[in-house]
Amino acid sequence: MGAFKETKFPADAPAAQKALGWVDDRFPLTKLWNDQWGRYYAPKNFNYWYIFGSLAMFVLVLQIVTGIFLTMHYKPDASLAFGSVEYIMREVPWGWLVRYMHSTGASAFFIVIYLHMTRALLYGSYRKPRELIWLFGFAIFLCLMAEAFFGYLLPWGQMSYWGAQVIVNLFGAIPLIGPDLSLWIRGDYVVSDATLNRFFAFHVIAIPLVLLGLVAAHLIALHEVGSSNPDGIEVKENLGPDGHPVDSIPSHPYYTVHDLFGVSVFLLIFSAVVFFAPEMGGYFLEYNNFLPADSLKTPLHIAPTWYFTPFYSVLRATTADFMWVLMAAVAAYVVFLWLKSRLAFRTKAVIAVVALVAIVGMLPQVLDAKFWGVVFFGGSVVILAFLPWLDHSPVKSIRYRPQWHKYLYVLLAIAFLALGYLGTQPPSVIGTIVSQVFTLYYFAFFLLMPWWSAMGTFKKVPDRVTFHAH
Q: Enumerate residues 6+ apart whose C-beta is below 8 A from 405.
A: 393, 398, 452, 453, 456
Q: Supply the DSSP symbol for 157.
A: B
Higher-pLDDT residue of 73, 243: 73
Q: Was 301 annotated as part of a binding site?
A: no
At how many degrees (to 10) do helices 178-186 and 158-170 cross? 150
Domains of the chain, by residue range, sit at 33-277, 306-452
Does residue 223 have a known ligand-binding role? yes
| Per-residue CA distances from 118 to 125, 126, 214, 309, 443 (Å) | 10, 11, 20, 18, 17
1 pLDDT exceeds 60?
no
Per-residue pLDDT reduced to its tens digit, 74-86: 999 999 999 999 9
pLDDT at residue number 341 = 84
Buried/exposed code over 182-199 (b: 16+ C-beta within 10 A; e: otherwise): beebbeeeebebebbebb
Average pLDDT over residues 444-464: 94
Lowest-confidence segment of 72-76, 285-289, 312-316 by average pLDDT: 285-289
Is residue 461 predicted with pLDDT exceeding 80?
yes
469: pLDDT strictly greater than 70 = no
Provide mean pLDDT across the span 55-81.
Answer: 96
Q: Is 468 annotated as a binding residue?
A: no
Please name every residue paired with 239 in a beta bridge, in sequence order, or none if there are none: 245
> Cα-Cα-Cα-Cα dihedral of 368, 369, 370, 371, to 10°?
70
> CA-CA distances (angstroms) from residue 367 to 173, 350, 362?
9, 22, 6
Binning the chain into helix, strand and coil, the percentages to the nearest 5 are 70, 0, 30
Helix (H/G/I), strand (E/B), else coil: 12: coil
Position with higher pLDDT, 175 vs 392: 392
Say whether 203 counts as a known binding-site residue: yes
- In whole angstroms, what is the distance from residue 241 CA to residue 220 CA? 26
- For residue 123, the model assigns a pLDDT of 95
Which residues fall within 8 angstroms of residue 388, CB to CB, at 6 or more apart?
A: 126, 127, 128, 130, 131, 134
**Among candidates 105, 102, 130, which has minimal Cα distance to 55?**
105
Which CATH number is correct for 33-277, 3.30.930.10, 3.90.230.10, 1.20.810.10, 3.20.20.70? 1.20.810.10
pLDDT band at 134 (very low <50, low <70, confident <90, very high): very high
Q: Could you give the percent of the chain with pLDDT greater than 70?
A: 99
Instruction: List Cβ neighbours of 445 (8 Å cut-off, separation of 6 or more).
Output: 408, 411, 412, 415
Query: What is the pLDDT averaged over residues 282-294?
Result: 90
